[in-house]
Amino acid sequence: MSRKGKNMTKLRMGIIGYGNMGTSHVRNLKEGKVRNMEVTAVCDISEARRDAVKSAYPELAVFENAQELYKSGLCDVVLIAVPHYDHPKLVIEAFEYGLHVITEKPAGVYTKQVKEMNAAAAKSGKLFGIMYNQRTNPVYQKLRQMVQRGDLGHIKRITWIITDWYRPQAYHDSSTWRSTWKSEGGGALINQNPHQLDLWQWMFGMPDRILAKVSFGKYYDIEVEDDVMAYFEYANGTTGEYITSTGEAPGTNRLEIACDMGKVVIENNKLIFHRNVVSEREHNKVNKAPFGRPECWECNIPADFSGGSAHPGIMQNFAEAVLNGKELLAPGEEGIKGLTISNAIHLSAWTGETVDVKNFPDERYYELLQEKISSSTVVKKDLQIVADTNSTY
């Protein structure tokens, strides 16, 4: 159990899963990149990985299963870094042992299980975070501030082309759990894109309806999606296009927002506001010239990169939330939002229907996902590769 009734100055962290992400988290903590937090224990079901922890960090406690770590009394918070389907189960168990929890993304594979996880979090009285480290990026933080302040006016259209996820066949073959409905629960949407789907709803809110066209195994010998085009609709008239793929090289990462006050573009980690001097709607009311346009200025919006960011930034914020009551930057309960968008894209692709996001049919999605799992026909070749607990995404 965690320390109760004591004034803590430093949180003790346990890492569940010592794959690529788990090793990165341990390294960041051991290198002192997170103030007020130290790693004290690691768990992995792989004996080879447990041996690797013992060799690299002999001072850390090492456990074969999560329950042993939870019961050890060595941790105040745990970070779940295992394959996707297991996130909710291990989070729920950690709450039952009175621990604070951070989970890697995605929150889970389907909304039904994540709702159960969120209910456990609410009942626990403990803090719950998710590793949405892209929320620490100053460019996206700045854009969110601009949207919330109303600097853009009404948003007409949002287009995000995020196709620089190139993953060759060798990547899909590198682990037995990759790129199958049974082991991973999806492809590009559930693996590469959770950060962007979260950022979308974090900056612009949840869409009301989604219609999608998705290709499964278009570029690779896999059963899950590797090419996605989705159309988002908002009740206020805003529309969105989300385009992603793991089969394009070099690919693109460009976010463009058309709005009454002009156009905003994020590309190459730069934020440029093509700002109309007056709102296009106001210009339209008074303009008499057939081709008259509002005057537009190109504004390079500064974003401060001097502070902490990425994974250590999320852990630092979490430590300050536990110890000092600071607001969480990435509450774990919000993981269901991006996942709902992902599930809705899948559901639309499977059925050809426009999906009601605000009233998402959790049970129907779950049932169709089970059909995908049971009818899987992809059999991976025996590559003599040990499956990763949680490899780099």
Amino acid 388: pLDDT: 37
* Mean of the per-residue pLDDT values of the chain: 93
Q: How confident is the model at residue 304 (pLDDT cuts 50, 70, 90)?
A: confident
Amino acid 392: pLDDT: 35
Residue 56: C-alpha distances to residues 25, 30, 33, 60, 392 (Å): 14, 11, 18, 9, 20
Global confidence as pTM: 0.93
Cβ contacts of residue 388 below 8 Å, gap of 6+? 19, 20, 174, 175, 177
pLDDT 10s digits, 127-138: 999 999 999 999
Among the ranges given (64-68, 181-185, 241-245, 287-291), the one the predictor scored with the smallest mean pLDDT: 181-185
Domains for the chain: give ranges and CATH numbers: 11-133+310-331 (3.40.50.720), 135-304+337-374 (3.30.360.10)
Q: What is the spatial order of strands in the sheet that 225-233 belongs to?
A: 296-301, 270-276, 262-267, 253-259, 155-162, 239-245, 225-233, 209-216, 355-356
Cβ contacts of residue 302 below 8 Å, gap of 6+? 142
**Residue whose tokens read 């803590």:** 8
- Which of residues 80 and 7 earns the better pLDDT score? 80
Identify residue 202 by its one-letter amino acid code. Answer: W
% of the chain beyond a pLDDT of 70: 93
- Residue pair 255/267 in contact (Cβ under 8 Å)? The answer is yes
pLDDT 10s digits, 315-333: 999 999 999 999 999 999 9
C-alpha–C-alpha distance, residues 255 and 242, integer Å = 9
